[in-house]
Amino acid sequence: MRVVLAEDLFLLRDGLRTLLEAHGFEVVAAVETGPELERALVEQRPDVAVVDVRLPPTQTDEGLRAALAARREVPGLPVLVLSQHVEQLYARELLADGAGGVGYLLKDRVFNADQFLDAVRRVAAGGTAMDPEVISKLVARRTTPLQRLTPREHEVLALMAEGRSNAAIAQQLVLSDGAVSKHIASIFSKLDLAGSGDSNRRVLAVLEYLKP
């Protein structure tokens, strides 16, 4: 199985290469920068890429951006991302790409050789290998305070986001002013908006509603 490896730390890059080759993988390129990675992926078209998120020259998201750019040239190119920390934006961006095998492992998992090699094989086969901690963070993000609201409270908040007054909300939903006030108070409570004033809490509730 042909592998392109991208890791800027020499010792880790060399260790990964040794590990992969000892288990029958062919490391066709081992690079240390984002531009080198993108070129290697497009030219070599490996069975799987093992990529550190942060690579020179920017040491930010160079590795992931190079991998995503290569996947646009080589649709479905399997990519296993390694990262020091759970970076939800990167995980979501990789998953959103939606084609071919993908994986996201914390670097700590690399020290379990069997677990790491199994992840490489699964991604190469078109599957996924997501770190349990990454999944936990992604699921936790989906459990937003908005999910505590009732359907009626969602309707009220949606109208608040449109800039409607309490009276306009009452008219639109055929409710009394008092009922609207109770719904809004419940929204503030469920969104944990104990505030210094209703005006601020109203804005904060709308901002929470509009979060992507």
Query: What Cα–Cα distance (Å) separates residue 196 from each residue in 71, 193, 201?
Result: 49, 9, 8
Supply the pLDDT for residue 143: 63
Q: Alpha-carbon torsion 113, 114, 115, 117, what sign?
A: positive
> Smallest Cα–Cα separation from 104: which of 114, 119, 118?
119
Q: Contact 4/34 with Cβ under 8 angstroms?
A: no
Site of tokens 């677990």? 115
Q: CATH 1.10.10.10 in the chain, residues?
A: 145-210
Q: Alpha-carbon torsion 131, 31, 56, 125, what sign?
A: negative
Q: Give the CATH fold of the 145-210 domain.
A: Arc Repressor Mutant, subunit A (1.10.10)
Distance of CA 134 to the CA centre of its chain: 8
Supply the pLDDT for residue 60: 80
Query: What Cα–Cα distance (Å) separates residue 40 from each residue in 34, 43, 67, 123, 161?
Result: 10, 5, 10, 18, 48
Give the phi and the psi of residue 176 in degrees, each rounded to 5: -80, 160
Question: What are the pLDDT digits (tens) for 83-115?
Answer: 887 666 666 666 666 567 888 888 887 888 998
Supply the pLDDT for residue 87: 67
Neighbours of 51 (CB within 10 A): 28
Question: What are the pLDDT digits (tens) for 16-28?
Answer: 999 999 999 999 9
Supply the pLDDT for residue 97: 60
Q: Give the CATH fold of the 2-139 domain.
A: Rossmann fold (3.40.50)
Lowest mean pLDDT among 3-7, 84-88, 97-101, 195-199: 195-199
| Banded pLDDT at 204 (limits 50, 70, 90) | confident
- DSSP alpha helix (H) spans, the chain: 10-22, 34-44, 62-73, 88-97, 113-124, 132-142, 151-161, 166-173, 177-190, 198-210
Supply the pLDDT for residue 98: 56
> Smallest Cα–Cα separation from 101: which of 120, 81, 124?
124
Supply the pLDDT for residue 197: 56
Task: Kindly state the tokens that stand for 87.
Answer: 């970076």
Higher pLDDT, 108 or 182: 182
Query: What Cα–Cα distance (Å) separates residue 150 from each residue in 78, 156, 174, 212?
Result: 41, 10, 17, 20
Q: CATH 3.40.50.2300 in the chain, residues?
A: 2-139
Question: What are the pLDDT digits (tens) for 39-74?
Answer: 999 999 999 999 998 888 888 888 888 888 888 888
Question: What are the pLDDT digits (tens) for 149-173?
Answer: 898 998 998 888 777 889 999 999 9
Q: Look over the chain and give the mean of its residue pLDDT values, rounded to a whole number.
A: 84
End-to-end CA distance of the chain: 39
Question: What are the pLDDT digits (tens) for 130-152?
Answer: 777 776 666 555 567 888 889 89
Supply the pLDDT for residue 198: 53
